Amino acid sequence: MIFKQFRYEPLNQASYLVGCPKAKEAFIVDPIEGLGTDFYVLEAADLGLAIVGVFETHVHADYVSCARDLAEMNGCPHYLHENAPTTYEYTPFKDGDVFTVGQVDMTCLFTPGHTPEHTSYLITDKSRSTEPWAVLTGDCLFVGDVGRPDLLVGDQALDVMDEGERAETQFATIRDILFTLPEHVEVYPNHYGGSLCGGVNMSGKNSSTIYFEHKYNLAMQKADAAEFAEFVQDTAKPLPDDYEKIKSYNLGLLKKDELQGAGV
């Protein structure tokens, strides 16, 4: 299989290419406007791969997504979990759905908390084993930290869960879903140290393992959801610039020229 992590340093953001050289096909996960649609198309083309699906772990609040544009450009689906409260059409999936390129399976693991639709993607390279080897954890689990539960737009229908409910859900999600994966599974997050999407303990390291995070992730050493929520709040960084406007664009409530007109 082919696996690439693309780092966008200004926002400490990571997007991914998951592909199969035999099938000559690839999925892109969490593409960012900062790199742009052409970047992903050229990266895939350099590897001889066609982009056949664009996935997002969730509707982002701290950066402008180019997933819709990239999917349209490639004539392929834009996938989000069926709970995503966007105003535009996307191709919905459910927990446990499996998407395949050649020998590579990507299994959707519903991991709500940071947002109500948040999903992680478990990756299996069947040319080597039927066991998964990696999980794209989005903004659920970072290296050394967890995603913040407080990036809300202030509209109950769109936010769905408030900050307290998000923190409580996230704690249970990481404990009961991600930390029950085999311990060798590598963790690839949507952000690394420096990002405002987590707290002060987020590592600059760009990947980890389930074993290491289970043992050393500070937020997840807390005894219960209440202690976890307090710790996340106490160690949070300042809110990302313009996150309400960015989230509104990514939800489809603002058009791109309105976003640019607002100076974002």
The contact set with Fe ion (CB under 5 A) reads 60, 139
Q: How far is the CB of 209 from Fe ion (least distance, A)?
A: 22
Q: How far is the CB of 234 from Fe ion (least distance, A)?
A: 20
Q: How far is the CB of 247 from Fe ion (least distance, A)?
A: 9
19 and 5 in contact (C-beta within 8 Å)?
Answer: no
Following CA atoms 200, 137, 56, 22 in sequence, which dihedral angle do they give, to the nearest 10 degrees? 130
Structure tokens belonging to residue 173 = 């999600």
Our CB check for Fe ion shows the closer of 60 and 166 to be: 60
Q: How far is the CB of 61 from Fe ion (least distance, A)?
A: 5
Our CB check for Fe ion shows the closer of 1 and 84 to be: 84
Our CB check for Fe ion shows the closer of 53 and 116 to be: 116
Q: How far is the CB of 197 from Fe ion (least distance, A)?
A: 5
Residues 6+ apart with CB under 8 A from 67: 28, 30, 31, 54, 55, 56, 78
- Residue 58 CA to residue 116 CA, distance in Å, equals 8
Our CB check for Fe ion shows the closer of 33 and 125 to be: 33
Our CB check for Fe ion shows the closer of 60 and 81 to be: 60
Question: At 25, is the secondary structure helix, strand, or coil?
Answer: strand
- Residue 31 CA to residue 153 CA, distance in Å, equals 22
